[in-house]
Amino acid sequence: MPRKGKAARARRGAGANSGADANLMPAPDQELLARLKAGRAAQAREQSVPAYVILHDSTLAAIAAAPPQDLDAMAAIAGIGARKLERYGPALLQLLRG
């Protein structure tokens, strides 16, 4: 009997709580998100890598939901480490400015 409960929890996984957490985050601006994804796709083509190697969708959604005004604010976004900030930060800020 305990295995059934474990199996049910395993099937639900982290997704069981992620819906509640997602409701706490502001919704991304869809036009801005589309621009960010297009910019990421261009970088990916240029570097011949999959787009997720540049930045994950969740990182782009976080940027679109609360656009950072400078590199320091961008550094606080999950998924943007020092290397990605240095490499992509200026271009992302340019996309944010429109």
Looking at residue 23, what is its pLDDT? 56
Looking at residue 16, what is its pLDDT? 43
At 81, list the tokens: 């480490």
Looking at residue 25, what is its pLDDT? 59
Q: What is the biggest distance separating any 2 CA atoms in the chain, rounded to whole angstroms?
A: 57
Q: Which fold has domain 28-97?
A: DNA polymerase; domain 1 (1.10.150)
- pTM for this model (two decimals): 0.72
Digit-by-digit pLDDT tens for the chain (98 residues) are 445 555 444 444 444 444 445 456 577 799 999 999 999 999 999 999 999 999 999 999 999 999 999 999 999 999 999 999 999 999 999 999 87
Single out the residue of 32, 38, 71, 69 nearest to residue 54, CA to CA.
38
